[in-house]
Amino acid sequence: AFDIGKLRDQSGYVTLDSGYKNTGATKSAITFLDGEEGILRYRGYPIEQLAEHSNFMEVAYLLIYGKLPTQQEITDFNSQISRHTLVHEDMRKIFDGFPSSAHPMGILSSLVSALTAFYPESLDPNQSEEEMNLNIKRLIAKISTIAAWSYKNSVGHPVNYPKNKLDYVSNFLHMMFAFPTEDYDINPVVVNALNKLLILHADHEQNCSTSTVRMVGSANASLYSSVSAGICALWGPLHGGANQEVIEMLEEIKADGGNTDKWLAKAKDKNDPFRLMGFGHRVYKNFDPRAKIIKKAADDVLSALGIDDPILEIAKKLEEAALTDPYFVERKLYPNVDFYSGIIYRAIGIPTDMFTVMFAMGRLPGWIAQWKELRENKEPIGRPRQIYVGETERNYTPISERA
Ligand code: ACO
């Protein structure tokens, strides 16, 4: 759907591309994505290799600084991040103001935005490279604490303070699951699975939340404000919010007797608003390479943890049927990254309404890299045009004369 309309009151033409389906908003050297071939690379490295051999902090470094770190560089990066994992005690009090029923994504976006109040130097558009790097490390460190505490808030438990001798992922698991009275045993299978999931979510070029981060950042807004806006965009069910909806859908299908044909028919019915959640993608018109890796990881994690989850079978049955169904084939609808991720989150004990928070933690390095690139390239403020389709000029009428 590409259309050209003429602006009424100005010379020249404006392109109308609703949903920006074919509009490039920037030049970027971060992530390469070929939706026809199903290829995804971060800074040139295939996603398959990174998921197999790397870990989340190394991928964060790669995305933000453009190269794989040396041993010394990653040691410094990790230790600087551990140093910033505590959040200000006055910020902790903000959690007390939220009802326990608050969705953790609402808490996350508010608290990330609140970082501007605690670190006002982040508001300076002319901050030095050193100051920018400090803000970046603070954000990576504190998001896992804020995320874990938003969960603790939802279950009414006291928070766990970070344990900085642990690696990033293990520290997050500790803050999520340890009780004041007992330690949480860090399981390497779980740490490995979580690293993989976070890597697979770490960047995806100009998607809705990333474009939001760049758009807000283009007004010279701070890193924290820009990322907070990205978190809000990610929360939408057509974007990151889909991972929660997939599990809820699979649960509903299970409760309905596991009749996948019935639910596929529902997804195809144009009079029914229901969509098969976790299926379809704006850019991939082929298999989402991340979904392939996650599907295998789901099998591996469940078998390593000795979990037999019937919804994995339902998911596989749905996928198999959809891949040969003309409706899905013609529209090139394949499982996306969200289709199997929730099954792994569930297996490792992450509650459903934290799924999108996990996505946000994973996407953070990508948002940061994109915000930094925008700054370094001194990109202009984002300001799309429109085709005006409203009333032409009208005269104001007093209220007594209006029909
Ligand atoms: N189930 C059933 N039909 C679908 C689905 C689906 N999941 N996705 C798309 N379609 C159909 C549409 O109804 C439309 O059919 P039509 O041509 O007969 O009108 C056609 O496929 C094209 O769909 P669009 O909505 O135009 O495709 P678009 O690129 O705008 O949307 C999107 C992509 C939003 C991801 C869509 O596929 C969707 O809603 N999927 C379900 C939600 C989801 O999984 N979102 C996560 C995306 S991945 C991510 O953000 C990390």
ipTM: 0.95
- Report the DSSP beta bridge partners of residue 39: 34
**277 C-alpha to ligand 1 centroid (Å):** 9
Query: Which DSSP symbol is given to 119?
Result: -
Task: Kindly report the protein residue whose alpha carbon is nearest to atom 29 of ligand 1.
Answer: 282
CA of 324 to the centre of ligand 1 (A): 17
pLDDT for the residue 287: 85
> Which residues belong to the active site?
281, 338
> What distance in angstroms lies between residue 280's CA and the mean position of ligand 1's atoms?
5
**Confidence (pLDDT) at 70:** 98
> How far, CA to CA in Å, does 308 sit from each of 183, 316, 372?
26, 14, 43
Locate 198 and state its tokens. 């976070």
Q: Tell how strand 31-34 and strand 39-42 pair up.
A: antiparallel
Residue whose Cα lies nearest atom 45 of ligand 1: it is 238
* Among protein residues, the one whose CA lies closest to atom 34 of ligand 1: 238
Nearest to 276 by CA among 230, 323, 346: 323
Bridge partners (DSSP) of residue 32 are 41
Chain segment 197-246, per-residue pLDDT in tens: 999 999 999 999 999 999 999 999 999 999 999 999 999 988 888 888 89
Say how many Å lie between the CA of residue 279 and the centre of ligand 1: 7
Per-residue model confidence (pLDDT) at position 181: 79
**Three-state SS at 237:** coil
What is the CA(275)–ligand 1 centre distance, in A? 7
Phi, psi of 182 (to 5 degrees): -145, 150
- Sign, CA dihedral 135-137-138-142, equals positive
Q: Rounded distance, CA 47 to CA 120, Å?
A: 36
| Index of the ligand 1 atom closest to the CA of residue 331 | 21
Residue of 270, 281, 339 to test ligand 1 pocket, by largest number of atoms within 8 Å of CB: 281
Distance (Å, whole) CA 287 – CA 36: 9
- CA of 335 from ligand 1 middle (Å) equals 11
pLDDT score recorded for residue 71:
98
Q: Which residues line ligand 1 (CB under 6 A)?
A: 238-240, 242, 267, 275-282, 331, 333, 336-338
Alpha-carbon Rg for the chain in angstroms: 23
| pLDDT at position 242 | 85
The secondary structure element, H or E, covering residue 4 is strand 3-6
In the block, tokens 């010279």 appear at: 220
Q: How far is 296 from 200, CA to CA, in rounded Å? A: 13
Mutate to test the pocket of ligand 1, among 269, 271, 275 (most ligand atoms within 8 A of CB): 275
Q: What angle do CA 72, 73, 79 make, to 5 degrees?
A: 90
Pocket test residue of 40, 282, 287, 341 for ligand 1, highest count of atoms within 8 A of CB: 282
Which residues are 125's β-sheet partners? none
- Ligand 1 atom nearest the C-alpha of 279 is 7
pLDDT of 2: 44
Which pLDDT does position 13 carry in this prediction? 82
Tokens representing 243 are 């991972």
Q: For atom 27 of ligand 1, which residue has the closest CA? A: 282
Q: Ligand 1: which of 201, 238, 356 to mutate, judged by most atoms within 8 Å of the beta carbon?
A: 238
- pLDDT at residue 213, as a whole number: 98
Cα dihedral: 344, 350, 354, 357 (round 10):
-70
Q: Which residues of the chain have pLDDT under 50?
A: 1-2, 5-9
368 Cα–ligand 1 center, Å: 27
Give the nearest ligand 1 atom to 282 CA.
Answer: 29
Give me the pLDDT at residue 133, please: 97
Question: Nearest C-alpha to atom 11 of ligand 1 is from which residue?
Answer: 331
